Structure 1
Amino acid sequence: MRVAVIGGGRSSEHEVSLRSAASVAEGVAGAGHEVLPITVERSGTWVHGGDRLALEPAAGLLGADVAFPVLHGPFGEDGTVQGMLELLDVPYVGAGVLASALCMDKVIFKDLLGAAGVPQVAYAAVRESRWQADPDAVLAGLESLGLPVFVKPNRLGSSVGIGKATTAAELGEALSTAFEHDVLAIVEAFSPGIEVECSVMGLDDPEVSLPGEIVLAGADWYDYEAKYTPGAMELVVPARLSPIAAAELRRLAAETFVRIGCAGLARVDFFVEGDRVLVNELNTMPGFTLTSVYPKLWEATGLSFPALCDRLLAYAVRRFEAERVARAF
């Protein structure tokens, strides 16, 4: 197949996306497909072979059979590019418009899981306008979460803009940092559990990889440097869990994937406190760099990187064909 591999993007995760896209292009080529590399510049311009692309609804994308949008963060992983690919009428790897948007919005994602009774840490949303108007009231409202807490931009990934606060003063600083990236921040209670991640792949009946435990080499928490610096993090596979926790974690990974309406792939992140498993986040387009967890977990489960890319492409085409029949255009 001819595969348009899209990397870059307008978000602060531009560089991570370029590295992920380079890895995916190599894996797609290794699986025997033709790669059509596309870079989305920071300005939002789409470029192929040095030429600016003109995109036209229903006209496809460079004659590609399928697109692999390896884009992270806003304007890439949040449903916007997925909507564009729908208009172009091109099959694409990953979740559709709604699921992508839901998972990019941490507050909405947690609200949905909470409504379904899915276990997770306590959290609160804080708007920048409210913080600027009455910071003392905001801090008072967050006291029930205890300390430490983690503060995150609501719609960003790769640990960009995240801070850990152990005092009220640090909490204020962390909120200010988060607001540099988003007008809405989420403040999450601390979990003493271990961090465990699972890779998920499929459609209505997804497969779940072996769980991987995140072990940090010196860092206090799993920040941007720990994620993307070689040697800063050790991935222990399988994670050191009780049989009860391991079974519950894999069940929740598949259930959350289906509940949100994901397709193709996702990485589900957890905190595990003994036998208690808490869902933390779901990433619809996880990293594909040399240090990224998603492909490493599948490799540990017995699936090579080119084979993984090949299966993700097949799921994209299968979903596209099924949806076109169901919509009866």
Structure 2
Amino acid sequence: MPVPTLILVHEPEAACLGRLLAEGFDKGHAAEIASYLAQSTDLAVEFDDLSQACKAHGLTFRPVELDDASAALAGQNPERTLVWTLTDGIAYFRGGAAPALARLNGLRTIGADDTLFALCQDKFRSGAVLGAHGLPVPSAGLARNGEWLVEPPSSGSGWFVKPNRLGAKIGIWPDSRCHDLGSALEISRRIFGAYRDDALVQPYVPGRNVRASFLGLERRAGVEALGISFVDSGSDFQTMDDSLALYGETGEAAKTQGIYAEPLLEAVIDSQPGADRKIRELTGKLMRSLGLHDVFSLDLRVEPDDTLHLIEFEVCPGLPCFDFRSYCGTQWHLALPEAIARTAANRLIDSGSKPI
């Protein structure tokens, strides 16, 4: 009888970079865009550890590059195959195709269904859907190359401008927070020129940055398994340069030079238990209404009085990133490879602990 198999589909930085250059992107900006796939680079060095961890749980581990996924998933045994998509994307990145390919082949997946892979990558549409569910999402306008597609609401605290479909960052440049709409339109021109993307323009919201991480290692895990932490990088928001200094080849270079510095993580419950409770309630609503499960993360801003602002959700959180590793250690007391392997085993093994 075939051994149950975990297939991890990932899009490499190099493949994305080559495609963007072929599409005419500037080399520097293409490298910035591809850097959002650094989790594929960072996790690849642990594939042997993942393979050993899976083997210990009676599974075969098979990493598959996205360009090979169509052929790799075809003909797999639906009862003995689990597909985990590491990298998402519907624009610059194409990982959102992987769960759709799995569904096409009748294969089970880790994570949300493929419709959410598309929704979470379009911040304007995602915000509209989350707002319709009554969740505390900042309202937004949308600009394209200096022209309004949707005018933003008024704001006494200025506005925040970010690409609509690129990665999961709160901003790109230090002036992403601006105080007049003329500046917002100018930033939208820069975003369009550099990344060919629309710009989301939201009223600036105060508070500290919070990351809520979830891994449903146990099948019935709920909001009690969330890890909710303040993320303190020493600045109000993360820029592209901040991101480049943390992950992939640039992050490794920073470690070599002794200048690598991870943001500090502080459990929200330690200082704002009310905010922790409200985030769990909000997450429970997302799990019920949108169908988030298995693995995901939320980015929020939290004010001192526990007021929440939901910035976005991700269905492919950066597994090898410092915050998710910390979450796996704190919540599940496991290193990342073992946490991934055990989660997959709990999906591929039935209640009688026999392969299905």
User: Shorter chain as normaliser: what TM range?
Assistant: 0.7 to 0.9
2:332 alignment partner in structure 1: 302
**TM-score (normalised: structure 2):** 0.71
2:87 touches 2:96 (CA, 8 Å); kept in 1?
Answer: no
| Superposed counterparts of 1:88-237, under 5 Å | 88-126=105-143, 128=144, 131=145, 135=147, 138=148, 141-142=151-152, 144-159=154-169, 162-163=172-173, 164-168=176-180, 170-179=183-192, 180-202=194-216, 206-207=222-223, 208-217=225-234, 219-227=235-243, 228=246, 229=251, 230-237=260-267
Measured in 2, the distance between the counterparts of 1:248 and 1:176 equals 37
Cα displacement string for residues 59-110 of structure 1 (whole angstroms, at most 9, x for unaligned residues): 129x972222211433667642211121133322221111222222212221
Counterpart amino acid of 1:7?
H
Displacement of 1:149 in angstroms is 2.5
Which residue identity lines up with residue 31 of structure 1 in the other structure? A
Assess if the C-alpha contact under 8 Å between 1:195 and 1:271 holds in 2: yes
Gap change, CA 1:316 and 1:147, over 3 Å in 2: farther
Question: Contact 2:7/2:63 (CA < 8 Å) preserved in 1?
Answer: yes
Given candidates 262, 266, 270, the residue that maps to 2:300 is 270
Q: Contact (CA 8 Å) 2:85, 2:95: kept in 1 or not?
A: no
Q: Is the 8 A contact 1:204 1:258 kept in 2?
A: no
- Partner Cα separation in structure 2 for residue 139 and residue 116 of structure 1: 23
1:30 positional shift? 4.5
In structure 1, what is the equivalent of residue 20 of structure 2?
A: none
CA distance in 2 between partners of 1:92 and 1:119 (Å): 29
Distance 1:182 1:257, change over 3 A: farther
d(CA) in 2 for partners of 1:303 and 1:77? 32
- The equivalent position to 1:74 in structure 2, one of 90, 108, 121, is 90
Code of the aligned partner of 1:36: R
Q: Which runs of 5+ in 1 are unaligned?
A: 47-52, 320-329
Q: Aligned partners of 1:200 and 1:303: how far apart in 2?
A: 14
- Percent identity for Structure 1 against Structure 2: 19
Residues 147 and 294 (structure 1), Cα distance of their counterparts in 2 relative to 1, 3 Å cut: same
**Number of matched pairs:** 299
* Contact 1:191–1:271 (8 Å) recurs in 2: yes
Contact 2:5 2:61 in 1 (8 A): yes
Pick the aligned partner of 2:314 from 270, 279, 283: 283
The answer to whether 1:255 aligns with 2:285 is yes
Q: Distance in 2 between matches of 1:162 and 1:303?
A: 34
Structure 1 length as normaliser, TM-score?
Answer: 0.77
Long gaps (5+) in structure 2:
17-32, 252-259, 351-356
Residues of 2 paired with 1:29 and 1:56: CA distance?
18
Alignment-derived partner of residue 6 in structure 1: 9
Shift of 1:22: 1.9
CA 1:95–1:195 in 2, change beyond 3 Å: closer, same or farther?
A: same
Change (3 A) 1:315 1:119: farther
* CA deviation string 1:107-144 (max 9, x = no partner): 22211221121112232223x2xx45xx4xx3994461
Specify the code of the residue in structure 2 equivalent to 1:283.
E
Q: Which SS does the other structure have where 1:55 is aligned?
A: helix
Instruction: Report the Cα distance in structure 2 between the residues aligned to 1:54 and 1:288, rounded to whole angstroms.
Output: 23
Contact 2:54 2:61 in 1 (8 A): no
CA–CA separation in structure 1 for the residues paired with 2:280 and 2:89: 25
Q: Does the CA-based 8 Å contact 2:51-2:61 persist in structure 1?
A: yes
Q: 1:189 to 1:26 in 2, by over 3 A?
A: farther
Q: Which residue of 2 aligns with 1:49?
A: none
SS of equivalent to 2:71 = coil
Aligned pair in 2 of structure 1 residues 178, 146: CA closer, same or farther (>3 Å)? farther
Residue by residue over 1:261-310, the C-alpha shift from the partner in whole angstroms, topping out at 9 and shown as x without a partner, is 1231100111111221221111100112242x223223222331234213
Structure 1 contact 7–71 (Cα < 8 Å) conserved: yes
RMSD across aligned positions (CA): 3.3
Q: CA deviation at 1:159?
A: 2.4
What is the one-letter code of the residue matched to 1:312? T
Of residues 37, 40, 52, the one that matches 2:63 is 37
Whether the 8 Å CA contact 1:200–1:253 is kept in 2: the answer is: no
1:165 partner amino acid: R
- Offset of 1:188 from its aligned partner? 1.9
Q: CA deviation at 1:196?
A: 1.0
User: 1:257 touches 1:266 (CA, 8 Å); kept in 2?
Assistant: no
Distance 1:242 1:300 in 2: 18
